[in-house]
Structure 1
Amino acid sequence: MMSDVAKKFSALINFPDLLASELEKQAKDLCNTLTSGDQADLNYDELIVEMQSFPKQWPKQNMATLDLLVFLEEKGLKEIYPNMWVALRIAVTTPVTVASAERSFSKLKLIKTYLRSTMSQECLNGLTIISINREISKQVSYDDTIDDFAARKSRIVWF
């Protein structure tokens, strides 16, 4: 599945190295992929012109899709290459698997058991996010978090 998605969007990365006929074929495939009914996200003719007029020395070798998108943003070229801009944004936001969603539901099932069914939704959401991002949560200092929480919730009355 990931290879199919990469193949559809390969023209966005490989365009400096492609022959004109191959560029046209891949750009047409990309435009057809991003068309639903009579609504097209890209203009095929304009995309070809944008890719052919893109300076060959600017994209570095082995530049990833996200790198090229950032490059267009940093150089202020998104208005000059609007079809490439749209296609790159779609490419970097297209999920290639549903593993993230499946992992979220798996973690939710582990946390929300029968014995914990009285847990509030806010607490459940917080625990789920911590569990999904456990690598980051391992770096959090629990002592500092508890001290911060205690300082905010302290009800000590000073006489």
Structure 2
Amino acid sequence: QLQFFALLDFKKFSLYANDFPINLFNSLKQLYGKYFDLPKLRSELSVVYSTEEFQKPNVHDLLIYLKTTNLDENLPQATQLISLILTIPATSASAERSFSALKRIKNSSRNSQEQNRLSSLSMLSIEKKLLVELKKKSTFHDEVIKDFLTKNRRID
């Protein structure tokens, strides 16, 4: 779906200079076309591909080069594409980790626990640092036991 990222693959710039990557350009057009002046972007990309100074090791370095040389004003559509590529997250690892923690909590409590308990377990997982700090206090366990003794039922 994000095939258009390859439009700024500096290793292929010389190839793209001879044979413009229309399929990648169409991928961008399909997803984000309304945000670009597409004919102008294509022209600017052709300039980027055919100019050796633009062959930087990564997209971030290319953006820095454009900004420091004030070429971002001359290549606004290419600069906008670079900014788009730099702002789209390349991975969802942190979100996946959060979901996997929730999945572990759900799996351990699915058959015998209520939604309230699941919510409490989730809160403990989320506030793990705070819990570690509380456990360092010598009265923490006594306070938990005292609170537990005041309850009529275990699940309250």
TM-score normalised by L of structure 2: 0.54
Name the residue aligned to 1:64: 58
Considering fraction of residues, name the structure with more helix: 2
Task: Kindly indicate whether the alpha-carbon contact (under 8 Å) linking 2:17 and 2:46 is maintained by their aligned counterparts in 1.
Answer: no
How far apart in 2 are the matches of 1:116 and 1:19? 53
Q: Out of 25, 30, 42, which is 2:28 matched to?
A: 30
With 96-105 and 86-95 compared, the bigger mean Cα shift is at 96-105
Q: Out of 2, 6, 9, which is 1:10 matched to?
A: 6
Flag the 1:117–1:34 CA change in 2: closer, same or farther, 3 A. closer
Gaps of 5+ in 2: 106-118, 131-156
CA offsets 1:38-93 (integer angstroms, 9 cap, x no match):
xx1112210111122236120236x2122212221222221111111111111111
Q: State the structure with bigger RCO (CA 8 A, min sep 6), 1 or 2.
A: 1
Percent pairwise identity: 23
TM-score normalised by L of structure 1: 0.53
Offset at residue 107 of structure 1 (A): 6.7
Question: Are 1:50 and 2:5 an aligned pair?
Answer: no
Which structure has the greater CA radius of gyration?
2
Residue-pair matches, total: 113
Flag the 1:115–1:58 CA change in 2: closer, same or farther, 3 A. closer
Offset at residue 96 of structure 1 (A): 3.0
